[in-house]
Amino acid sequence: VERTLVLVKPDGVSRGLTGTILSRVEAKGYTIAELKRVHATRELLEEHYAEHVGKPFYEPLVEFMLSGPIVAAVFEGERVIEGFRSVAGTTDPTTAAPGTIRGDFGRDWGLKVQQNLVHGSDSTESAEREIGIWFA
């Protein structure tokens, strides 16, 4: 069965939205296979965000992800990767569709990084890679 890595980013955890976010994904019909709270290290984030090294938002993104605890989950189900991304909404929370996690709970806070509450893997390859990083 397909799996995806879901992260409730530090903004989601600090705003008390962890339960709301996880329950939206569960309510769509996906199953929690793994769940934990973690303080990421710089090393872990460098591995996770390797494809973004050198981009202007890379350092602000890493600093943001280090700013507080994260809740990491593995969800599973048919087409869960696409399904989660649909529930999460598009990257920029200001314009993400209402009804999505980012669209309902996020906005631009004027920083150099999109504080967009959640992460979800974008392919089966990246899901298996990312699950290996966060649930080693």
- Binding residue numbers: 9, 57, 85, 91, 102, 116
Distances (CA, A) of 38 to 28, 80, 124: 25, 23, 23
Reply yes or no on whether 119 is catalytic: yes
In three-state secondary structure terms, 107 is: coil
What is the C-alpha separation between 102 and 107, in angstroms, rounded?
8
Nearer to ligand ATP, 98 or 110 (CB): 110
CB 35 within 8 A of CB 72: yes
Number of residues that bind ligand ATP (CB under 6 A): 9
Tell the smallest beta-carbon distance from residue 114 to ligand ATP (Å).
Answer: 4
H or E element at residue 54: none
Return the half-sphere exposure (C-beta side, CA atoms, 13 A cut-off) of residue 18. Answer: 16
User: Is residue 123 involved in binding ligand ATP (CB under 6 A)?
Assistant: no
With contacts defined by CB under 6 A, name the span among 15-23, 25-33, 66-74, 116-124 that binds ligand ATP. 116-124
What string marks each residue from 55 to 84 as x (binds ligand ATP by CB under 6 A) or -? --x---x-----------------------
List, by residue number, the catalytic residues.
119
